[in-house]
Structure 1
Amino acid sequence: MKNKHLALALAAAIALPASLAHAQAPVPPQQPRIVVTGEGEATAAPDLALLSLSVMREAKTAREALDANNDAMAAVIAAMKSSGIEDRDLQTAGVQIQPRYNYTNKPDGTQDAELIGYQVTNTLSVRVRDISKTGEILDKSVSLGVNQGGGISFANDNPSATITEARKLAVADAIAKAKTLAEAAGVNLGRVLEITDQSFAPPPGPILAKARSFEAADAVPVQAGENAYKVQVNVTFELK
């Protein structure tokens, strides 16, 4: 038993200096580096118009208001389809039924609430793939009963090519900045160690540079403009 304990003690004594030597080994210095942010932007003409159209009707009873709203919205949807809008591009965004009251003040400062009717609002989201028809569709929808909403924005069905172009411009911008900084500091750029990027979709409205107007006779004038896609990259370079 004593021999066994002696062997374990000797093994620990031999291993301890080795582990200390490993722990105290110098850490190799990190290669000097520089991190540069580049930005790129590319634009594309939109190929989708996104509409939000609402029909509001009022009546004495909720049933009467809903029936009137249903008739008006059915006419609007039929008009959308006759203009070439497919079923997949028509989506009900919400239906609201709200009571309406008439409030009268009483001598004691309180109010009497008299129910005078109901209001029904049906909202339809529409994707227009032929944006040259946007003004015509807006005009037709109002003629058939749309009396609220009218929100409009423009988008691109597949912006990947535009975003790719913005990425290339962002990387080129980062390289140019890095070269300028390295030259000013009297050092040389080495290889690229890391690249990260972040893409920014355009805001819900158009950028009106190079705007195109789609306007038929008696139609709502519409400016489609361009959508701008922005990319920001962080590039890490070695320094020599």
Structure 2
Amino acid sequence: MKKLVLFLTIMFMTMSYGQEIKQVPQINVNGEGKVKVAPDQVCISATVETKGNNAKDVKKQNDEKMDAVLKFIKKSNVPTADFKTKQVALNPQYDYDKKKTSYNATQTVEIVLRDLSKYDELMEGLVQQGINRIDNVSFESSKLLQHQSEARKLAIKDAKAKAEDYVSVLGQKVGKAITISDNSQVYHPRPVYAAMKTEMMDAAGASNETLAIGEIEITANVSVSFILD
């Protein structure tokens, strides 16, 4: 009898607790914020690659070319803090058909150029001094963190505006945000090369512009859950 009374008491308490739980009305929306800015610096990753049959000679030739490259960068008034050696490698490559071993030496330098007007001159000089591989060119903003913050704020405003649009026809209001998820990614545009200058431009002595820099589009994406009042 006591067990039956205890069981009924627990069931009654469980049912009463369940009735007290109320589902909180809410709305889930996505928001996006975009900030477009002109880049004010460019990061260049350039490599000297040398191949040959003798490891010592290959390494020596590669070192001499990279020495010339670094001297040119310094001569171009790029601050010491804005360029550095990123990678150095010397690898054997065995040719199974010829049964011979050759060697491949590479050295990569990473340069941050803060004066974009010197881009063409720098790139031309790098190639002339021995750079034979451009691994990456990315245009960036020195105020990236500031622009990212602005994009995030715009994304939250966009999410709230969407939520208000949805509930406006229901006679409800958007309350506090209860969850926010950041789904943002940063994108750096690659250079877009223009056509080579024509013979007429050469004859006229016109300057050669080899790329269109464009703009950096910094995007923030969020998912927000709002309580409905």
What TM-score, normalized by structure 1, do the two folds share? Answer: 0.74
- 1:193 counterpart = 2:182: no
Computed over aligned residues only, the root mean square deviation of the Cα atoms, in angstroms, reads: 3.1
Q: Which amino acid aligns with 1:129?
A: R
Identity of aligned residues (%): 28
Partner of 1:237: 226
Q: Which amino acid aligns with 2:100?
A: E
Q: Tell whether the 8 Å contact from 1:139 to 1:220 is kept in structure 2 after alignment.
A: no
Partner of 1:152: 137
Structure number with larger C-alpha Rg:
1
Aligned-pair CA distance for 1:59: 4.0
Partner of 1:80: 73
Structure 2 unaligned spans of 5+? 194-204
What TM-score, normalized by structure 2, do the two folds share? Answer: 0.78
Partner of 1:50: 43
Question: C-alpha separation between the residues in 2 aligned to 1:207 and 1:145?
Answer: 23
Residues 195, 229 of structure 1: alpha-carbon distance in 2 compared, 3 angstrom cutoff: farther
Count of residue pairs the alignment pairs up: 213
Q: Which amino acid aligns with 1:227?
A: I
CA deviations over 1:201-228 (Å, ceiling 9, x no partner): 01452699xxxxxxx9776623222111
Aligned-pair CA distance for 1:142: 0.7
Partner of 2:200: none
Question: C-alpha separation between the residues in 2 aligned to 1:15 and 1:96?
Answer: 78
Question: C-alpha separation between the residues in 2 aligned to 1:59 and 1:218?
Answer: 38
Aligned-pair CA distance for 1:237: 2.2
Question: C-alpha separation between the residues in 2 aligned to 1:49 and 1:167?
Answer: 24
Aligned-pair CA distance for 1:231: 1.0
Partner of 1:70: 63
Q: Tell whether the 8 Å contact from 1:39 to 1:169 is kept in structure 2 after alignment.
A: yes
Q: Which amino acid aligns with 2:99?
A: A
The counterpart of 2:99, out of the listed 109, 113, 118, is 113
The counterpart of 1:37, out of the listed 23, 27, 30, is 30
Structure 1 unaligned spans of 5+? 1-9, 104-110, 209-215
